[in-house]
Amino acid sequence: MAVSRLVNRNVVAERGRTSMRLEPELWDLLSEICEREAQDMSTLVRQIEAAGHAGGRTSAVRVYVTTYFYTAATEVGHAAAGHGPLLRRVAPELARSAA
């Protein structure tokens, strides 16, 4: 039987203190969002819940994290990070300096 990688943590949500199980990478990304947005985890989770995602709280958080970083992943940012073949089409000068 496989051991789950999910990490259980407590947060304060709309209806009080609760727990959420997320992958460690998602917890890290959620913490980064909190730092970038200058707010604590519970405040962010309450805002995510208030947005009214059709799934449960954990699903809403996963979608929020994905959307947050997807929105920030512009073509220029993608190229500056040296990711993929898009780099050669969008910013060939960055592709040369990344090599």
Rounded to 5 degrees, what are φ and ψ at 44?
Answer: -65, -45
What are the extents of the domains in the chain?
A: 7-73
pTM value is 0.73
Whole-number pLDDT of residue 33: 92
pLDDT in tens, 36-81: 999 999 999 999 989 888 888 999 999 999 988 888 887 777 667 6
| 3-state class (DSSP) for residue 54 | coil
CA nearest neighbour of 62 among 73, 52, 50, 48: 48
CA nearest neighbour of 48 among 33, 64, 32, 34: 64
The amino acid occupying position 18 is: T
